[in-house]
Structure 1
């Protein structure tokens, strides 16, 4: 029995709460260059919902276990951060991961916080620093500022010395954005986003706009880009992929920057390592700390993924192992 484990499996594509099933399965055996890790905590990401729906750029063979980001433990007891090798994802007792890509979990973060450090903060760091070259004193606008990806960008923006404007949907999320350190919070459900940001910036707009939403949020971004502004396109959580008017970018003199963080793992992995060192240092100083809104047991993973899929979560929901609860 020792070689069996609990894991959530997806046998057909659909909504997470409908297609994720908790099962007892064989513990996976590591292949070449892989290592078996015990899962201490697994962070819920929007891509997990897309994986369940069959809409992600990676389509693992069925059945598979979702969960793309964990804090795990090696056989010799080291706490590490890893992206599990699908189809053996993180919502399970054990995962497989690329041995060369393991990163040490920062001592300053607990298991749930460490599990939520990698994808969101690496994406934010590459987007703000590598792509947009954010400078101290500039204004950063973050869409979905209370969400998992947005909250990381807010903290990184503040750490870089920017003035941060957070756009959120609802009063509860506005309160979270204020606690995160946003200098200005705009509730898109109660305010005209473009008018509110123009007023807050004296009509100038934002130097850098971080957009994980797409759709209407991107339309607002184009209207709010300052002279020599940079819009960082991170994803399309709103469900609509915008078609930007390039004549507008030309006339208003702003840049549209695509960010596919995953490519750095193959194109320039040393930068990922460098970024992790920067993030570890920021975490040790207390400048960044993943906002964990909930820690849930493995039995509640499907419900947690569905809440993230529906946009009903703030910060991060993390599935924690028995010893990390």
Structure 2
């Protein structure tokens, strides 16, 4: 009975929120296409917002707020009322997201940082479309998207007893993760999810390029059996087949997967989508680079590792999942952490036709048979770190390992494309185009001048 009560309702086998998101996006498309002057009527406001004009604008929090599912028009740069800053659902014991109460009492496990830079991830586009499950489940609307932060500690708790392992002081330069809320110049973040920026990182923009994608890469390698979180990072790779194939090897997560795989002693075959990204993938350390825009991907993959792959890292979705599974070696693991090809590439707005195409891609998703998994001796694993609010010790251990590699010169920042905070729509369009390489980082300082 309990399972029946907790089972989520579906409509035509789908989450009802999907249909609401589709309707909202189609309305945005209709207005943008046929009546763009009416787009402002699609922008919900919040009582926490307040028009502000004055010379002390840095005393107020500015953030990117999304009021409902839709197009680029939903990316609103807003000023919050005095004493309010943004917050992720990982600190919902402080205040429900996306905003704190005015002059919130800060608990001992959190700090407020003056955020100088945050990165843009493809997940942020799916949040805006209303298709990101953890955002819908734990935040709702309005939402301030974003995971990566880099800035200075602005405020610490009066309750701190000075005995915690992650002691921070006002003025410390830090970087880390929030579970949403990062598109902001002032945010509450748990101390355990922040680290002091090492001297080898030259800028806040570079620091903001690291956390979410590097943590995603390391957890993916943990699932593949290469990084033992439980007993530290010194374990030896005992698999006889050391070949790993990494899709989108020059992208955000892919660039860290390549570097970490080399640190862990693997033979890395990187796949890129254009000739311009081949040099980037080679510079990261790929032993073999396959340019699928000019080469037969799976023929080249077979040539590079005739016995198959111990691991294939795949965030593509329907376009490659079946073939990725087929190219695993016995005991191989397919690790899935995204579905980019299920979603539109290059489309600024989601038209009715795009929704039909997405429905077709979902219908074509492969179904993995449990008996075949057993007989073939293969595994399929998936994860999303945005659900890891309660796994703070796991993420903390991984962050410590990443910091050690950074300080040791073993992990390099990918190429960073910097933009100003007010150009957030341009950043979303760029990452949706599929032409971006490395990380897109937005700087908040330019947004402090009205």
TM-score, normalization by structure 1: 0.89
User: Do the aligned residues in 2 keep the contact of 1:150 with 1:212 (CA within 8 Å)?
Assistant: no
Instruction: Report the Cα distance in structure 2 between the residues aligned to 1:85 and 1:230, rounded to whole angstroms.
Output: 27
- Given candidates 380, 395, 414, the residue that maps to 1:256 is 380
- Which structure has the larger Rg? 2
- Out of 279, 299, 308, the residue aligned to residue 175 of structure 1 is 279
Residue among 1, 5, 11 paired with 2:67? 11
Q: What SS does the aligned partner of 1:306 have?
A: helix
- Residue 261 of structure 1: CA displacement? 2.9
Residue among 257, 260, 285 paired with 2:408: 285
Query: Are 1:144 and 2:248 matched, yes or no?
Result: yes
Quote the offset at 1:263 in angstroms. Answer: 4.4
Q: Which digits, 9 at most, give the CA deviation of each residue in 1:246-279, with x for residues without a partner?
A: 2443343211122233444414x22222111111
- Which of these residues, 56, 67, 80, is aligned with residue 25 of structure 1? 80
2:309/2:327 contact within 8 Å kept: yes
1:1-325 matches, cutoff 5 A: 1=54, 2=56, 3-15=59-71, 17-26=72-81, 27-28=84-85, 29=102, 30=104, 32-33=106-107, 34-57=110-133, 58-59=135-136, 60-75=139-154, 76-84=170-178, 86=180, 89-109=181-201, 110-128=203-221, 130-134=222-226, 135=237, 138-201=242-305, 203-239=306-342, 240=361, 242-246=365-369, 247-267=371-391, 269-322=392-445
8 Å CA contact 2:179, 2:386 repeated in 1: no
Partner Cα distance (2:388, 2:142) in 1: 28
* 8 Å CA contact retained: 1:72, 1:82: no
Offset, 1:317: 0.6
Distance apart, 1:73 and its partner CA: 1.3
Kindly report structure 1 stretches of 4+ aligned residues shifted beyond 6 Å.
Answer: none
How far apart in 2 are the matches of 1:139 and 1:74?
A: 42
Report deviation, 1:183.
0.9
How far, CA to CA, are the matches of 1:125 and 1:200 in structure 2? 24
Q: TM-score, normalised by structure 2?
A: 0.66
Shift of 1:91: 2.3
Give structure 1 stretches of 5+ with no counterpart. none
Structure with more of its chain in strand, by fraction: 1
Question: Residues 265, 91 of structure 1: CA spacing in aligned structure 2 closer, same or farther, 3 A cutoff?
Answer: closer
